[in-house]
Amino acid sequence: MNTFNYADVKVGDKLPALEIPITASLISCGALATRDFEPCHHDKSVAQGMGLTDVFMNILTSQALMARFVTDWSGPEAVMKGLKVKLGAPNVPGMTMTVSGEIAAKDDAENSVTVEVTGENNIWGMHMSGSVRIALP
Amino acid sequence: MTPEEKKAFEDELYTYVGKAIYSAPRKGYDDVNTAMIRQWSEVMGDKNPAYNDSEWAAKSQRGHTIAPPAMMYAWTQEGYKVASEGRPADGQVEMVQFFDRHGFSGSLGTNVDQEYFVEAKPGDSIFEESIIDSISEQKSTARGIGYFFETYAKFTNQDGVLIGTQRFRVFKFIPPVEAATAPAQDGALEVPTRAVSPRGQDNKWWWDACDEGKILIQRCQNCQTLRHPPRPMCGECQSTEWDSIESTLDGEVYSFVEMHHPKFPGYQYPLVVAVIDLAEGTRIIANVVGCEVKDIHIGMKIKGKVEQVDPKTMLPQFYPVAGSAA
Ligand SMILES: [Zn+2]
């Protein structure tokens, strides 16, 4: 399994887009895997009381999917340095989220690249936007 | 809230700034372990061998597996108690309850910024120290009126080494009344459509024709001057007698913009909105589609077709005439 070298990537390079079907399983299991037991992420009646149709994705799952999207591309020797995420419309079951990204900056001092990432769902639009900074060999 | 009540509320609210959320560094119930890492990786669909493949990891730069850095905040979470009994009291819970008591019961995580300094590995203990770092002034947003607060957390390991930091921003707001009284129901997700055209006495006829696939141009019956958009009186002779002709939708781009931000649900992007000179002599505002945005230019010859752009909306869409793009 290869990892990109710092010298091999440049600002403007695009990452392969990733389509993620949003299901009740992904939402509730993602919440549990990140130890977020807030009922709105696993109990539909609580989410409906908040005005949504169903359980919605917790932040730590969105963040995890953003991280995965970047390291899927970079390869396993990349070292994650930072992750920033801004949340928009909720992800609820039945949607598809398309994650896309592009290299926005390179830092020679740290051998790191900053990838700007967005995740848009097909119903309400922007779910998350942010950036992941990784150091490459 | 009266101005006096607001002042009293804020005076107490801002005393939370700088407060520690836990009385002592909070140790994760479990040390970093392969079982929780595997479960996280499975759910997230993350096949990174640095997390779960010890054979691969032994030969890697690191020499061992690591925990996904994005799991940093998971290690010190409270657990199932949050659902079964409610979140145990701490500095943040106390402040949240203070907000709730004053009507700011809505809660929305808006931003998380994490920095990672050292990769955690199985066997490490994780400690979290958090404070309420800031509270904004009162803000009015699309969600409602409220305050943003930000927590700042430091994560260290058993050797006291700082492995990462986190800023977590939450909006606490007064929720809209309808959300509290009308819980959502089961049902299909409603796919958003474009903004609905407002149909009044003066323009309903125009939109009704558009729904049937025709773009009409209003014509003064007295002086024959064409006009668009529809209005009751001729600007030339002040006659209110009118009929209409059907446009051939031959035209050219007079001016255009590409809408980037904010993106509205229900619209397809890239979204080009143009002012179009129609062959009949009036102008119309519509989308230019069917070519790369970079190929659109002022003066480009275009031809319109009335199309169903979403389940509820018929609109003219203009395409480049062969040979006119680029
Ligand atoms: Zn006239």
User: Is residue B95 pLDDT above 90, yes or no?
Assistant: yes
Compute the distance between CA of residue B50 and CA of residue B31 in angstroms, rounded to an integer. Answer: 18
Compute the distance between CA of residue B70 and CA of residue B88 in angstroms, rounded to an integer. Answer: 24
- Using CB atoms within 10 Å of the CB of residue B283, give its burial: 0 to 12 exposed, 13 to 18 middle, 19+ buried: middle
Q: Which region, left, alpha or beta, applies to residue B70 given φ > 0 means left and ψ of -120 to 50 means alpha?
A: alpha
Q: How far does Cα B226 stand from its chain's mean position?
A: 42
The closest alpha carbon to B27, from B81, B76, B99, B88, belongs to: B76
B242: which strand partners?
A: B220
pTM for the whole thing? 0.78
In chain A, what residues touch B40 (CB-CB under 8 Å)?
Answer: 33-34, 64
CATH number at residue A104: 3.10.129.10
Q: Which region, left, alpha or beta, applies to residue A111 given φ > 0 means left and ψ of -120 to 50 means alpha?
A: left
Evaluate whether residue A50 is within a structural domain.
no
Percent of chain B at pLDDT > 90 equals 83
Q: What pLDDT is stored for residue B176 in this prediction?
A: 74
Distances in whole angstroms, Cα of residue B310 to Cα of each of A7, A71, B192, B193, B289 = 46, 37, 9, 6, 15
In chain B, what residues touch A42 (CB-CB under 8 Å)?
Answer: 83
Q: What pLDDT is stored for residue A136 in this prediction?
A: 96
In chain A, what residues touch B43 (CB-CB under 8 Å)?
Answer: 26, 29-30, 32-33, 61
Q: How far does Cα A7 stand from its chain's mean position?
A: 25
Q: Is the peptide bond before B316 cis (omega within 30 degrees of 0)?
A: no
* Domain boundaries of chain B, sorted by first residue: 3-32+67-173, 204-320
Evaluate whether residue A77 is within a structural domain.
yes
**B155 and B118 Cβ atoms separated by less than 8 Å:** no
Domain around A128 = 6-22+59-135
Evaluate whether residue A38 is within a structural domain.
no
Q: What pLDDT is stored for residue B182 in this prediction?
A: 58
Determine contact: A14 vs chain B, CB below 8 A: no
Q: Distance (Å) from the C-alpha of residue A3 to the closest C-alpha of chain B?
A: 11
In order along chain A (137 residues), what is the average pLDDT of each group of 10 residues?
92 97 98 97 91 92 98 97 95 96 96 97 92 97
Evaluate whether residue A88 is within a structural domain.
yes
* Tens of pLDDT, residues B147-165: 999 999 999 999 999 999 9
Q: What pLDDT is stored for residue B178 in this prediction?
A: 55
Q: Is A78 helix (H, G, I), strand (E, B) or coil?
A: coil
Does ipTM surpass 0.85 in this model? yes
The beta strands (E) that lie in B37-105 are given as none
Distances in whole angstroms, Cα of residue B309 to Cα of each of A137, B293, B314 = 48, 18, 6
Angle between helices A24-33 and B34-44 (to 10 degrees): 160
Evaluate whether residue A40 is within a structural domain.
no
Q: What pLDDT is stored for residue A39 in this prediction?
A: 95
| A contact residues 49-108, partner B, Cβ 8 Å cutoff | 49-54, 59-61, 63-68, 71-72, 76-77, 79-87, 89, 92, 94-95
Average pLDDT score over residue span B39-61: 97
Evaluate whether residue A35 is within a structural domain.
no
* Tens of pLDDT, residues B238-287: 999 999 999 999 999 999 999 987 777 788 889 999 999 999 999 999 99
- Using CB atoms within 10 Å of the CB of residue B78, give its burial: 0 to 12 exposed, 13 to 18 middle, 19+ buried: middle
Evaluate whether residue A98 is within a structural domain.
yes
Strands B301-310 and B283-288: unpaired
Number of domains in chain A: 1
Q: Spelled out in words, what is the top-level CATH class assigned to the domain B3-32+67-173?
A: alpha beta
Find which of A80, A99, A122, A123 to mutate to test the B interface (most B CBs within 10 Å of its CB).
Answer: A80
Evaluate whether residue A101 is within a structural domain.
yes
